[in-house]
Amino acid sequence: MQSDVPGNKLKREIGLFGATALGIGAIIGSGIFIVTGIVAGVAGPAMIISVIIASIIAIFSAMSVAELGAYLPEEGGTYVYAQKLISPFAGFIAGWIWIFSNIFVGAAVSLGFAHYFVTIFPAIPVKVIALGICLIFLFINYIGLKESVMFNNILVSLKVLIILFFVAFGLGFFHPGNFSPFTPDGSMGILSGAALIFFAYTGFARVTIMAEEVKDPTKTIPHSIFLALGISTVIYLLVNIVAVGLVGAPALAKSGSPLADALSMTGSSGAVLLISAGAMIATASVLLTTIMGISRIVFSMARSQDLPSLFERIHPRFSTPHYAIAITGAGMIAALLLADLALVVAVSTFAMLIYYLIANIAAFRLHREHRLYPSWVPVIGALSCIGLIAFLSPNSWIIGCIGLLIGGVWFVFRKRFGVSSP
């Protein structure tokens, strides 16, 4: 048997379709099937405006990330960009806060899958299903990227078709009166909704984290980011309009499975079953890409000696960072015991806004010859990230800052005592 070889290189296996599917898979998942209800409770029918605001804000950060990905097509995303363009500490914090955010997202998505699963098979405990689906997708990631990307493409295609069915079927039972009053909580509700719905968009940069596995990254990364963001925004708008038209925002706000409950008013149990299956497919694809992303960040940080070097080792047969995948799984399984949907969404959004704030600062520091867009783009991106943070709950600030503090302590400890090796 061959031993692990840290110097092994990752293979470029991801084309434009696969890269776009990674972004769509990360964006269209828990945000559309679960967070829709939370946002409806905050913004009412005006959640449609919240989606548009969140997408516009995401576009500016996406432009920054796209030009960074084209300039530095290396595994690790904003972690690498900030490290090279701002400072090692900024890079470390970007990587650390991304891991912090997405471990809990992965746990929440596993639980979301489990809740939909038990509506069909109620005899199995939720935690058992959540643990089982997490282990299955860890194994898929472990055995190889090609298999993971292929499986993700299938999941993304299926869930988009099911969501389009929801839109087409639901239009037949649409009630325009459900949109009145349109803004029950005014502009504050709309902006708070935009801050929460940004959670759904945070996966648009997922492909940059796996840049060394992308074919022709200079072209593929920017194109895939904008394709994923554009397609996902159209789908979000259609789904939210139809969902509100079916049952109204108050009913959506009370539901943990808003799209299934919205279709239940049609009286079609088959349609509800199909949407529940779609929710499981959607959450499964998000879990798949979340595990991919976290393990690659851990791999990249270990390669830069910000985490133990054990995690940069590549499996001799599968060419995957198997130890990084294993520690990712351990963190998610531990977080399963603590996951709470509403708080996880807020904390994750806080952490990802910090992440994209750092990305925008890094993009601003690019030299003119490496820019794809004007220098004011990352300025607007950074300011909009700060603005959205102000509309999140105080609890999310507290937990997010605790996560940042833990990361900062580890960075100082590692620098002082040199504990990067296993």
151 versus 274: which is more confidently predicted? 274
pLDDT per residue as tens digits for the range 353-363:
999 999 999 99
Listed range (31-45, 93-107, 332-346, 377-391) with the worst mean pLDDT: 332-346
Query: Which long-range contacts (C-beta less than 8 Å, at least 24 apart) are formed by 276-281?
Result: 276/116, 276/119, 276/120, 277/120, 277/162, 278/33, 278/158, 278/159, 278/162, 278/163, 278/165, 278/166, 279/33, 279/34, 279/112, 279/113, 279/116, 280/113, 280/116, 280/117, 281/155, 281/158, 281/159, 281/162
pLDDT given for residue 30 in this prediction: 63
pLDDT given for residue 105 in this prediction: 81
Whether residue 7 is predicted with pLDDT greater than 60 in this model: the reply is: no
pLDDT per residue as tens digits for the range 68-99:
877 877 766 787 889 889 998 998 998 899 88
Give the DSSP letter string of 143-197. Answer: H-HHHHHHHHHHHHHHHHHHHHHHHHHHGGG--GGGG-SS-TTHHHHHHHHHHHH
- Residue ranges of domains in the chain: 16-409
Superfamily of domain 16-409: Amino acid/polyamine transporter I (1.20.1740.10)
pLDDT per residue as tens digits for the range 128-164:
888 898 888 888 877 765 555 666 667 777 878 888 8
pLDDT per residue as tens digits for the range 194-207:
888 887 787 777 67
pLDDT given for residue 11 in this prediction: 66
pTM for this predicted structure: 0.79
Cis upstream peptide for 181 (omega within 30°) = yes
Which residue carries 């110097």 as its tokens?
Answer: 7
Q: 3-class DSSP state for residue 55? A: helix
Whether residue 420 is predicted with pLDDT greater than 60 in this model: the reply is: no
Q: Assess contact for 123 and 391: CB atoms under 8 A.
A: no
What Å distances lie between residue 45 and 198, 238, 290, 383, CA to CA? Answer: 17, 13, 30, 27
